[in-house]
Amino acid sequence: MLTRRLEDILGSEREVDGGNWNSRRLLLREDGMGFSMHDTIIRAGTETLIWYRNHLEAVYCIEGEGEVETTDDGVIHPISAGTIYALDRHDRHLLRAHRDMRMICVFTPPLTGREVHDADGVYPVLTD
Protein backbone atom coordinates (compact mmCIF):
# COMPACT_ATOMS: atom_id res chain seq x y z
CA MET A 1 0.00 0.00 0.00
CA LEU A 2 0.91 3.62 -0.33
CA THR A 3 1.04 6.44 2.20
CA ARG A 4 1.85 10.05 1.57
CA ARG A 5 1.65 13.19 3.67
CA LEU A 6 0.53 16.67 2.67
CA GLU A 7 3.77 18.23 3.93
CA ASP A 8 5.77 15.99 1.57
CA ILE A 9 3.80 17.36 -1.38
CA LEU A 10 4.25 21.04 -0.55
CA GLY A 11 6.86 22.59 -2.84
CA SER A 12 6.96 19.53 -5.11
CA GLU A 13 5.54 19.16 -8.63
CA ARG A 14 2.38 17.78 -7.00
CA GLU A 15 1.64 21.27 -5.66
CA VAL A 16 0.05 23.19 -8.54
CA ASP A 17 -0.88 26.86 -8.30
CA GLY A 18 -3.73 27.93 -10.56
CA GLY A 19 -3.79 31.56 -9.38
CA ASN A 20 -7.25 31.44 -7.82
CA TRP A 21 -6.42 28.10 -6.21
CA ASN A 22 -3.58 25.97 -4.96
CA SER A 23 -3.98 22.24 -5.53
CA ARG A 24 -2.01 19.62 -3.64
CA ARG A 25 -2.33 16.34 -5.54
CA LEU A 26 -2.43 13.54 -2.98
CA LEU A 27 -3.23 10.84 -5.55
CA LEU A 28 -2.71 11.02 -9.31
CA ARG A 29 -3.20 8.70 -12.25
CA GLU A 30 0.27 7.22 -11.77
CA ASP A 31 -0.81 5.99 -8.33
CA GLY A 32 -3.15 3.54 -10.04
CA MET A 33 -6.36 4.09 -8.06
CA GLY A 34 -8.61 5.00 -10.97
CA PHE A 35 -9.29 8.45 -9.49
CA SER A 36 -7.20 11.40 -8.32
CA MET A 37 -7.62 13.14 -4.98
CA HIS A 38 -6.50 16.66 -4.22
CA ASP A 39 -6.40 18.90 -1.16
CA THR A 40 -7.12 22.29 -2.73
CA ILE A 41 -7.26 25.82 -1.32
CA ILE A 42 -9.59 28.20 -3.16
CA ARG A 43 -8.47 31.74 -2.41
CA ALA A 44 -10.85 34.19 -0.75
CA GLY A 45 -12.41 36.76 -3.07
CA THR A 46 -11.84 34.75 -6.26
CA GLU A 47 -14.28 33.63 -8.94
CA THR A 48 -13.28 30.77 -11.27
CA LEU A 49 -15.12 29.49 -14.33
CA ILE A 50 -14.81 25.71 -14.44
CA TRP A 51 -16.23 23.17 -16.88
CA TYR A 52 -14.96 19.61 -16.54
CA ARG A 53 -16.37 18.31 -19.81
CA ASN A 54 -13.98 15.35 -19.73
CA HIS A 55 -14.08 14.49 -16.02
CA LEU A 56 -16.45 13.92 -13.15
CA GLU A 57 -15.46 15.77 -10.00
CA ALA A 58 -16.76 15.61 -6.44
CA VAL A 59 -15.70 18.34 -4.04
CA TYR A 60 -15.97 18.15 -0.24
CA CYS A 61 -15.47 21.42 1.63
CA ILE A 62 -13.72 21.00 4.97
CA GLU A 63 -12.98 24.68 5.73
CA GLY A 64 -14.22 28.09 4.62
CA GLU A 65 -17.23 29.46 2.83
CA GLY A 66 -18.31 30.25 -0.71
CA GLU A 67 -20.72 29.27 -3.45
CA VAL A 68 -21.07 27.49 -6.76
CA GLU A 69 -23.28 28.97 -9.49
CA THR A 70 -24.30 26.48 -12.17
CA THR A 71 -24.28 28.59 -15.32
CA ASP A 72 -27.01 26.70 -17.22
CA ASP A 73 -29.69 27.61 -14.69
CA GLY A 74 -28.13 30.41 -12.60
CA VAL A 75 -28.77 28.50 -9.37
CA ILE A 76 -26.41 29.43 -6.53
CA HIS A 77 -25.37 26.57 -4.24
CA PRO A 78 -23.91 27.78 -0.91
CA ILE A 79 -20.78 25.94 0.19
CA SER A 80 -19.33 25.69 3.70
CA ALA A 81 -17.47 23.12 5.79
CA GLY A 82 -19.37 19.85 5.57
CA THR A 83 -20.85 20.47 2.09
CA ILE A 84 -20.07 18.14 -0.81
CA TYR A 85 -20.96 18.93 -4.39
CA ALA A 86 -20.77 16.48 -7.26
CA LEU A 87 -20.58 17.66 -10.86
CA ASP A 88 -22.52 14.62 -12.06
CA ARG A 89 -23.61 16.32 -15.29
CA HIS A 90 -20.24 17.86 -16.11
CA ASP A 91 -21.91 21.07 -14.96
CA ARG A 92 -20.29 24.28 -16.13
CA HIS A 93 -20.03 26.50 -13.06
CA LEU A 94 -18.60 29.55 -11.37
CA LEU A 95 -16.80 28.83 -8.11
CA ARG A 96 -16.63 31.76 -5.70
CA ALA A 97 -14.82 31.83 -2.39
CA HIS A 98 -16.05 34.31 0.24
CA ARG A 99 -13.32 33.08 2.58
CA ASP A 100 -10.41 30.74 1.85
CA MET A 101 -11.95 27.34 1.23
CA ARG A 102 -10.19 24.02 1.70
CA MET A 103 -11.62 21.37 -0.56
CA ILE A 104 -11.00 17.65 -0.99
CA CYS A 105 -11.48 17.05 -4.73
CA VAL A 106 -11.83 13.66 -6.41
CA PHE A 107 -11.57 13.29 -10.20
CA THR A 108 -12.39 10.44 -12.51
CA PRO A 109 -10.69 9.76 -14.84
CA PRO A 110 -7.73 10.69 -12.63
CA LEU A 111 -5.61 13.72 -13.41
CA THR A 112 -2.03 13.04 -14.45
CA GLY A 113 -0.93 16.28 -12.80
CA ARG A 114 -0.03 18.04 -16.06
CA GLU A 115 -3.47 19.40 -16.97
CA VAL A 116 -4.13 23.13 -17.03
CA HIS A 117 -7.53 24.79 -17.33
CA ASP A 118 -8.15 26.20 -20.80
CA ALA A 119 -10.07 29.44 -21.43
CA ASP A 120 -13.38 27.59 -20.86
CA GLY A 121 -12.17 26.14 -17.55
CA VAL A 122 -11.78 22.68 -19.08
CA TYR A 123 -9.08 20.12 -18.25
CA PRO A 124 -8.05 17.91 -21.22
CA VAL A 125 -7.85 14.14 -20.81
CA LEU A 126 -4.15 13.24 -20.67
CA THR A 127 -2.62 9.79 -20.64
CA ASP A 128 0.83 8.77 -19.52
Rounded to whole angstroms, the Cα distance separating 109 from 96 reads 25
Distance in Å, CB of 21 to ligand 9YT, minimum: 5
* 3-class DSSP state of 126: coil
Out of 9, 14, 21, 55, name the contact with ligand 9YT by CB under 6 A.
21
**Contacting ligand 9YT within 32-91 (CB under 6 A):** 38, 40, 50, 57, 59
- Answer whether 128's CB lies under 8 Å from 57's CB: no
Rounded to whole angstroms, the Cα distance separating 27 from 35 reads 8
Cα 72 versus chain centre, distance: 20
Closer residue to ligand 9YT, CB minimum distance, 8 or 91: 91
22 binds ligand 9YT (CB under 6 A): no
The footprint of ligand 9YT (CB under 6 A) covers: 18, 21, 23, 38, 40, 50, 57, 59, 95, 103, 105
